[in-house]
Chain A
Amino acid sequence: MDEETVEIQGRIFYQMVAIKDCILVQNLEVHQVAERVEALGQFVMKTRRTLKGHGNKVLCMDWCKDKRRIVSSSQDGKVIVWDSFTTNKEHAVTMPCTWVMACAYAPSGCAIACGGLDNKCSVYPLTFDKNENMAAKKKSVAMHTNYLSACSFTNSDMQILTASGDGTCALWDVESGQLLQSFHGHGADVLCLDLAPSETGNTFVSGGCDKKAMVWDMRSGQCVQAFETHESDINSVRYYPSGDAFASGSDDATCRLYDLRADREVSIYSKESIIFGASSVDFSLSGRLLFAGYNDYTINVWDVLKGSRVSILFGHENRVSTLRVSPDGTAFCSGSWDHTLRVWA
């Protein structure tokens, strides 16, 4: 079969899939089913902690499993570990690059990973030894050919999953820095990823500048499902707590919910007055609420089932760049270009 034939066949297949997707749109929308659900009452969430200490835009943050510590990274290369309950800073390291766009806390709580314009992901063991320089024990794990946009430890401290501006995701062995698996398929920068909370724990989802969200099999490196309904870059993806769906936030000012078993978008969270892009999303513990941080400095809270907005939170004085709900769901933390992080409850 010559190349041209293969290409034509490919295009036909692609169109067929797109048509099938349209037909399924006739199905019941989530809001109709959710009509039976009680509407949520008055919703009050306030800033309970403000973490000041970064000298520049906060770009990323992650929670420790102990439900109170966080790691945050910023444009000036600083990575800080805080006990956000007391607001004490516990560790700080300065990366040799600016725009540290990704950071993650290790499951054991004993290390952090971070990276950005250095195209790498580095792991720093956390030490309280005054004589030890954190930077000295730094381990360079991942190497990409463009900026690092996201990173996450898998179920242990020994493997890291990364996403990069070079259009790929990759799985690495922390100890040796060996590349275990790479994931090719995005047509542009990959901006975000999230690991599936499934029983068999073998998939993850990524979102990119090609407007696609792709679900990958970690073992084979293959893309198992792809979704392309956003109209602009996908900045953030996060699984619904049951693992059957995931939400995405995009520069097209919408958030969307994609179901993996229905293989399509099932809900869209948007409002005419919201015209700035959504930079980061996360679910509350029960999956009923979706918190989304936007480039217009606000955080919108969505009722996942009813599709309506429950609340809008003001407070940040510049773009909200990162948002994560705490591991036990008691609060969520937002980081912003206004140099601060806020914990809301």
Chain B
Amino acid sequence: MWGWGEAGRNSPSRPPFAQMERVVVSMQDPDQGVEMRNQRLRITVIPHTVAGSDVVDWLVQKYCISEEEALHLGTLLVQHGYLYSLRSPRSLVLRPDDTPYRFQTPYFWTSTLWPAAELDYAIYLTKKNIRKQGALVGHEKEHYDQLHRKINHTWDLVVMQAREQLRAAKQRRKGDRLVIACQEQTYWLVNRPPPGVPSVLEQGPERSSCTAGRVQMNTEFYKREMERCRKALTRARVKSSICLEAYLKFSSQHGPHDPIMSGCLPSNPWVTDDDTYWIMNAPSVAVPTKLRVERWGFSFQELLEDPLGRAHFMDFLRTEFSAENLSFWEACEELRHGGQAQVHAMVDAVYQQFLAPGAARWVNIDSRTMERTLEGLQQPHRYVLDDAQLHIYMLMKKDSYPRFLKSSTYKDLLAEAVIPPEAKRRVFPFMRKPRHSSPSPALLPASTSGEPVAAASGPECGDGGT
């Protein structure tokens, strides 16, 4: 359970063979499965066939999905070789009409013979070669030649096997011969797809869940795990119902601000090709939108995250003579996320400016936190000011922030905020608006807040090519 001795399963993201097989097995259930019929094919009759449209209908019924989704799932089953078309076995496509299909025999499921053996492929190609009297073409000819070179030493065996299989096939009824040929061909279409056809069996780089040598299973490891378990057992857990109420509250509060849920005004740039929405919501814009100003009231975090909100809050703090709190917090953030080489210098600068007795912008932190901080400053590291930073953050959050929301500053911002009018639908939908390009953040000088500088609408560039 902690990953002890699990056998290495070195197969990254294999197709879900077991799940697909469960589906096709249900489809073949005599009572609940897809309707089976006999299909006349030239002069033979093939039993146990199903119509493409019946397969789709069955999937629609069984999984309560749309026809489109059922067709998609059915197509995947065909692409993985679980069904094949009798009339055009070379195309791995599911046609939602009366095209007859058959279920692949489990012997030829990809998962049964995994991975496909070179020897078997050689025999298959040799049979084809013999039947076509040496007229193999394209990738099959290439593979054939390659294999011939590669396993030349056992080629006699290959030819012998091929001849034997062909001979045995001749003794079967025509119907059976046809079916077996389709089955085998489908298997190889899936396992050795022609060039240009993406292989459904293609996988990403190897992953392993083998833990050998990964984490040392020693006393140290167990002690740490025990500590984690002990903490987990004694951790105060919030009841799920309370957490869920929190999601409801959050999602409903933020719903109107979610462009995908509620749209956005004047319009969604991706839908109308009009980037006015971005211009009106640029990081530093003269008059923010109403939704944006409202969001500053949701939480202190939302206010600080918006550079414009933060700037207005800073102005407010100045009127209360406590702007140094926010500046201190910003300086601590810079330290925490800054370069390693700058740590010492920054700690020093922050101390001099905010914490030292008589500092120009002294911040008021409680004596215990100050003591701890000063102690930590003996060995400065990037987290040394965390306690002080948190103290000041909570001070602003519990004290200054609520006052800001009640202040005339904020109320004026709300009153003056704009609600963009909804963009009129373009009269001629086929006339595409030219899409404005915008200067890349990499071109512009970085703003002091580190945010990408607002991209003013650039010169109207023509149609951006693909």
Contact = CB atoms under 8 A, between A and B. Distances in A.
A10 B229 CA distance: 8
Interface string A84-109: 01111010000000010100000111
A13 B214 contact: no
Interface string B209-235: 111001100110011011011111101
A30 B247 contact: yes
Given A173-B340, A233-B207, A345-B268, A3 B219 contact: yes
A28 interface: yes
A200 B329 CA distance: 11
B393 interface: yes
B264 interface: yes
Nearest to A75: B204
Given A10-B229, A287-B247, A109 B205 contact: no
A312 B253 CA distance: 26
A246 interface: no
A128 B443 contact: yes
B112 interface: no
Give the bracket for the number of chain B residues in contact with chain A.
Answer: 35 or more
A328 B258 CA distance: 8
Given A109-B440, A330-B268, A16 B233 contact: yes
A251 B3 contact: no
B271 A20 contact: no
Given A3-B219, A65-B451, 11 more contacts: A14-B2, A107-B450, A187-B211, A233-B12, A253-B19, A275-B16, A317-B198, A330-B259, A330-B260, A330-B264, A331-B268
B328 to A, nearest CB: 16
A268 interface: no
A135 interface: no
B104 to A, nearest CB: 17
A49 B13 contact: no
A273 B233 contact: no
A16 B233 CA distance: 8
A83 B440 contact: yes
B465 A328 contact: no
Counting from the closest, the 3 A-B pairs by CB-CB distance are A187-B3, A109-B441, A86-B464
Interface string B24-35: 000000000000
A33 B245 contact: yes
Nearest to B218: A3
B63 interface: yes
A17 B233 contact: yes
Given A188-B214, A296-B76, A284 B441 contact: no
B464 A262 contact: no
B241 A27 contact: yes
Given A14-B225, A17-B233, A266-B240, A176 B69 contact: no
A241 B250 contact: yes
B197 to A, nearest CB: 11
Interface in B334-366: 334, 336-341
B225 A304 contact: no
A16 B340 CA distance: 42
Contacts of B232: 17, 20, 225-226, 263
Given A64-B441, A87-B466, A296-B72, A189 B208 contact: yes
A307 to B, nearest CB: 11
B270 interface: yes
A156 interface: yes
A49 B270 contact: yes
A293 B147 CA distance: 39
Nearest to A338: B198
A154 B338 CA distance: 10
A188 B16 contact: no
A261 B275 CA distance: 40
B451 to A, nearest CB: 7
Interface string B388-417: 001001000000000000000000000000
B255 A10 contact: no
Contact of A24 (B237, B242, B451): B237
A261 B464 contact: no
A174 B339 contact: yes
B286 interface: no
A37 interface: yes
B84 interface: no
Contacts of B15: 276, 295
Contacts of B93: none
B39 interface: no
Contacts of B452: 64-66, 108-109
B339 A34 contact: no
Given A6-B223, A85-B269, A219 B438 contact: no
A259 B1 CA distance: 21
A326 B371 CA distance: 44
B63 to A, nearest CB: 4
14 contacts: A28-B240, A33-B244, A64-B441, A65-B441, A68-B278, A86-B461, A109-B442, A175-B341, A244-B243, A261-B237, A273-B65, A276-B15, A317-B198, A332-B260
Contacts of B340: 173, 175-176, 178, 180
Given A49-B270, A173-B339, A329-B260, A128 B440 contact: yes
